[in-house]
Amino acid sequence: MNIFRLAGDMSHLVAILILLLKIWRSRSCAGISGKSQVLFALVFTTRYLDLFTSFISAYNTVMKVVFLALSYATVYLIYMRFRNSYDSENDTFRVEFLLVPVIGLSFLENYSFTPMEILWTFSIFLESVAIMPQLFMITKTGEAESITNHYLFFLGLYRALYIVNWVWRYHTEGFFDQIAVVSGVVQTIFYCDFFYLYVTRVLRGRGKMSLP
Amino acid sequence: GTDPNLKDEL
């Protein structure tokens, strides 16, 4: 474990908590893409199947349980608890356009052709595009509340910190996980446009920000 | 390098 990966995991946790608490306290999920949250729950489900088969560390196990629980709680709030505030007219991204290529690629490009490895690869590729429905929804509604922007900022920051972690691990222990690195770079690139707008607008107190 | 199959990252 290194400081970059720890900071990344904390940024990820903060992002998930920001969104969950926003929905819970405002008792509304307006402007939130339920599809993205379902995809994230699917990412954690397919990536953390080894939760019961391999023990890495207490931190690793605890964080997996926390991420699974919080992501399913978020999906529950959106589709069950506060479903009448769910904005289904604007959450119209065709997720099959993401799932089909990701499933195909995870069968083509993986470390070993075993169910666990293919599911892990699927989760890595899916995570890189899981935010698309949310970004699409923001372009459709024309703006995002500032709290949603903070969520996106920490979510994008988490994988950017993981990239630094991978550089660090490559130079200190020769660790190189090609699938995770390539996918993580693609994922972070999707946020670049948002990062620019976030820094130039949201941090200047503009509150609402609209993606082009 | 260390084995990427050792999934020690979240």
Reported ipTM: the value is 0.88
**What does the pLDDT read at residue A206?**
62
**Pair A158, A67: CB distance under 8 Å:** no
Query: Over 70: is that where the pLDDT of B3 sits?
Result: no
Q: Which amino acid is at A2?
A: N
Please give the Cα distance from A32 to A195 (Å, whole number): 18
**What does the pLDDT read at residue B1?**
42
A179 touches chain B (CB under 8 A): yes
Q: For residue A59, give every residue at least 6 positions away whose Cβ sits within 8 Å of its Cβ, in sequence order, or none.
A: A1
B1, A170: Cβ pair inside 8 Å?
Answer: yes
Average pLDDT value for residue range A144-166: 95
**What does the pLDDT read at residue B5?**
64
Which residue of A60, A173, A174 is in closest CB contact with B10?
A: A60
**What does the pLDDT read at residue A204?**
75
Confidence label for A11 from pLDDT (cuts 50, 70 and 90): very high
Query: Over 90: is that where the pLDDT of A201 sits?
Result: no
Which residue of A63, A64, A173 is in closest CB contact with B1?
A: A173
Average pLDDT value for residue range A52-65: 95
Confidence label for A207 from pLDDT (cuts 50, 70 and 90): low
A178, B4: Cβ pair inside 8 Å?
Answer: yes
State how far residue A27 is from chain B, nearest Cα, in angstroms.
Answer: 30
Task: Give the rounded distance of the alpha carbon of A163 from its chain centre.
Answer: 15
A117, B5: Cβ pair inside 8 Å?
Answer: yes
**What does the pLDDT read at residue A142?**
86
